[in-house]
Every structure is written in C-alpha cells, then in structure tokens.
C-alpha cells in the first residue's frame, strides 16, 4: 500500500473483468522518539498517506481487508464471503 502504482494495476485488472481484493498486512508504524517533532509530523503524514490509499482503493471498488497478526491469512477475506465478490461460480 505504499506505492500508488498499485492503483493502476488494480484498475487494469478490473477492466479485464477481474475482482481484485487487497489484504493489508500490518507492518507497524515507524518508530519516533518522544519529543521528535519532525518525526511525529512524518508519522502523521505516513498514516495519512495510508488512509488515502485505502480510500482510493475502496473508492475504485477494490475491497481492502486487514490481516490480523496471529490468525491464518485465509481468514482476512472471510467478511467478503457473505456476499458475492465476483468471478465465475463453480460448476456442479
């Protein structure tokens, strides 16, 4: 989520009839020393950029789900399974 070029790639996938889903794997916030004003401002900017990317992805129709550390990765998209997320159904 740190590279805005991913939006173009995901939009390209959507234009080809695919339904991408982004699984955000938390890496933790950068560490800032107490009292480091420049570091604190940088951290706020970093968080704002991540929020903006989440918004842009969702605004483009790409669901963003978060992986919970310690849980199996396949549980992250589970909330999306309550509705159809696209693609072809299984035959049978």
Long-range Cβ pairs for the range 2-9 (8 Å, 24+): 2/49, 2/50, 2/53, 4/53, 7/53, 7/56, 7/57, 7/60
Q: Tell me, what's the pLDDT at 1?
A: 64
Residue 86 pLDDT more than 80? no
* Per-residue confidence (pLDDT) for residue 40, from 0 to 100: 95
pLDDT score of 6: 87
Q: How confident is the model at residue 84 (pLDDT cuts 50, 70, 90)?
A: low
Confidence of residue 76 (pLDDT cuts 50, 70, 90): confident
Contact 30, 40 (CB under 8 A): no
92 vs 45, higher pLDDT: 45
């Amino acid at each position: 989520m740190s590279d805005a070029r991913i939006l173009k790639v995901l939009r390209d996938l959507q234009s080809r009839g695919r339904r991408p889903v982004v699984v955000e794997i938390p890496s933790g916030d950068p560490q800032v020393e107490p009292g480091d004003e420049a570091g604190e401002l940088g951290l706020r900017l970093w968080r704002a950029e991540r929020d903006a990317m989440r918004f842009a992805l969702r605004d483009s129709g790409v669901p963003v789900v978060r992986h919970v550390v310690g849980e199996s990765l396949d549980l992250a998209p589970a909330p999306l399974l309550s509705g159809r997320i696209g693609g072809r159904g299984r035959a049978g």
